[in-house]
Amino acid sequence: MPYSKNIMKKILIIEDDPSIAEIESDYLQANQYEAAIAPNGTAGAALALAENFDLILLDIMLPDKDGFAVCKEIRAQKQTPILFVSARMDDIDKIKGFAAGADDYICKPFSFHELLARVAARIARYEALTGADQHSGRGEIRIKNLRILTDARRVFLGEKEIPLPNREYELLLFLAQNPGKVFSKEQILNAVWGVDMFVEMNTVAVHINRLREKIERSSANPEFILTVWGAGYKFTDI
């Protein structure tokens, strides 16, 4: 069963293939979700910003503007969970998706059981982190005593505000929006600094260390930004 608080969750499907959009819509509605369909990026972005949805299913290859641009447009104003649904399976597309602000990425063809599980998990994770559902309109990520006010780009540890330079804030936000996911240094570099920007790889470790000094009680034993030895870093999902 989908994650629910006795209110049907609203899903926006931005997909230019009407057969795929209808199948996704029918399956979601059969599992107690409401579903709306937008046939292109322009209509999808407008609908996403005009109404409150609990999650957005977003294709990359759209006829007017690609999904990356749509994701960035939505993310500039809202923190609605966004799940890319695409036939593009290259790692670079996944990295670009996360960099644009996506919460998850699923490749076509996929199992509808997997899609349903990811939709439910992403909605539940968003509500757990923010302490409220999407319809409350709060732009906030909260875990333990750390709060990220995404609309205002402010970070608090308890009642104390932690000033962060833009790049450190973007790094923290990227990790916090993907709790439990392990990212290599290269993936973080491409997501936060951009795939076309030449930056040395140790820049990631330097910024991680700076963040830890500011938000961790002990930078040697972090509780938010965790090192996964031999793989990279992840933000706690506990």
**Is there a single domain that holds both residue 13 and residue 124?**
yes
- Mind giving me the DSSP string for 157-212? ETTEE----HHHHHHHHHHHTSTT--B-HHHHIIIII-TTS---THHHHHHHHHHH
Q: CATH no. for residue 189?
A: 1.10.10.10
- State mean pLDDT over 91-119: 83
Instruction: Give dist(CA 74, CA 67) in Å, integer.
Output: 10
For residue 32, give the DSSP letter: T
Residues 180, 100, single domain; the answer is: no
Q: Would the pLDDT of 127 be above 80?
A: no
- Do 56 and 81 lie in a common domain? yes
pLDDT reported for residue 26: 93
Instruction: Return the pLDDT at 196.
Output: 47
Do 126 and 169 sit in the same domain of this protein? no
Query: Does residue 128 have a pLDDT over 90?
Result: no
Tell me which long-range contacts 215-220 makes (C-beta under 8 A, separation of at least 24): 215/146, 215/155, 215/157, 215/162, 215/172
pLDDT tens digit sequence for 150-173: 877 889 999 899 998 888 888 998
Residue 131: pLDDT band (50, 70, 90) is: low
- Residue 150: the pLDDT is 81
Which residue has tokens 């890319």? 84
Q: How far apart are CA 54 and CA 155, in angstroms?
A: 24
* Residue found under tokens 């030449």: 198
- Under 8 Å between Cβ of 232 and 189: no
What would the mean pLDDT of 196-203 be, rounded to a whole number?
A: 68
Instruction: Show which of 77, 106, 130 is a domain's final residue.
Output: 130
pLDDT exceeds 70 at position 50: yes
162-171, 198-207, 210-219: which has the highest mean pLDDT?
Answer: 210-219
pLDDT-based confidence at 197, cuts 50/70/90? low
Identify whether the C-beta of residue 34 lies closer than 8 Å to the C-beta of residue 8: yes
Please give the C-alpha separations between residue 167 and each of 85, 100, 144, 191, 205, in angstroms, as whole numbers. 28, 15, 23, 11, 13
How many Cα atoms within 13 Å fall on the side-chain side of residue 43?
13
Q: Which of the pair, 201 or 75, is modelled with greater confidence?
A: 75
Q: What is the pLDDT of residues 5-17, one digit of tens each?
A: 346 789 999 999 9
Q: pLDDT above 70 covers what percent of the chain?
A: 89
- The verdict on residue 63 lying in a domain is yes
pLDDT at 130: 56
> Residue 228 falls within a domain, yes or no?
yes
- The domain of 74 spans 9-130
Mean pLDDT of 170-180: 87
Report the domain count for the chain: 2
Mean pLDDT, the chain, whole residue set: 84
Lowest mean pLDDT of 52-61, 175-184, 196-205, name the range.
196-205
Given a cut of 50, whether residue 19 has pLDDT beyond it is yes
